[in-house]
Chains A and B, each alone.
Chain A
């Protein structure tokens, strides 16, 4: 759901930039305190994997495709702030080198996918783990990764309607409906990869510092 130039009005995309830059500078500050040696190569591998996986559009419904987002995968392995930085980096490279997502709308795309889809989905995951501490963590992963896509689509719809591109009552159900299905793809892929990581390298799962 990379928003191209032209879909958002200046007040909306400027707000998108402001919020994205604000949250990212906070994330960079946070990251300086928590970043350890072992996390640096994982940042590289996660960025590489998420970039490649985002290229692989899978078919959903008739004549529509979806692709992996990776926000939940990044935050469960790297933590919410390093995860958001990695997702933002992927979005910046996609915009500047591959013309995927607009330049004016890059802030909004970072907000939707690297902040809502990564940081917010991480706290949903943490909340689920707190409410159901005895349940398998992969169930929390499945649910929060599904929400990461649906919530990102919801904010995308909100931005489109605030820009006057389409009425909220029309764009919200349309965006949410298709992303309910894309989200299932996201949840299956994220859960599969994390179950694999849990099996071979459980130490790569992010642990909140006390």
Chain B
């Protein structure tokens, strides 16, 4: 992959992340089944995550908070994947 291709790929991902506030807020398949079959209340979270529910904390505008969380996530997984790839290749 050339530098240009990487840039275009990353740009597409960031664009999708920016528009993540358009995502349907309905429950997903598993959540819907859990609601219908009455076991949704079993769901807990043993870990306090820094950006729960894909909303960047401290920002009142939910659309902006969602976009920022998305861009942040895209950059984190991009950097981690490249780093893991490089480490695996060098060995």
Instruction: List A residues at the B interface (Cβ < 8 Å).
Output: 1-7, 28, 31-32, 35-53, 55-60, 63-67, 82, 85-86, 89-90, 93-100, 102-104, 153, 156, 165-166, 170-171, 174-175, 178-179, 182, 201, 204
- Asked if B89 contacts A97 (CB within 8 A), the reply is no
Q: Given A45-B1, A99-B53, answer yes or no on A85-B76 (Cβ-Cβ < 8 Å).
A: no
> Which residues of chain A have C-beta atoms less than 8 A from B65's C-beta?
none
> Which residues of chain B have C-beta atoms less than 8 A from A6's C-beta?
42-44
Chain A's closest residue to B38 (CB) is: A166
Contact with A along B18-53 (1 / 0, CB 8 A): 011011111111101110110100111111111111
- For the complex of A and B, the 8 pairs showing the least CB-CB separation, nearest first, are A45-B9, A40-B85, A99-B49, A47-B81, A48-B13, A52-B16, A65-B24, A6-B44
- Minimum distance in angstroms from B58 CB to a CB of chain A: 15
Give Cα distance in the complex from A204 to B36, angstroms: 42
> Which residues of chain A have C-beta atoms less than 8 A from B19's C-beta?
56
* Residue in contact with B78 in the complex, picked from A3, A45, A99, A153, CB distance below 8 Å: A45
* Residue in contact with A63 in the complex, picked from B20, B26, B78, CB distance below 8 Å: B26
Give Cα distance in the complex from A155 to B78, angstroms: 28
Instruction: List B residues at the A interface (Cβ < 8 Å).
Output: 1, 5-6, 9-10, 12-14, 16-17, 19-20, 22-30, 32-34, 36-37, 39, 42-54, 66, 69-70, 73-82, 84-86, 88-89, 91
> Which residues of chain A have C-beta atoms less than 8 A from B28's C-beta?
1, 57, 64-67, 182
- Asked if A64 contacts B32 (CB within 8 A), the reply is yes
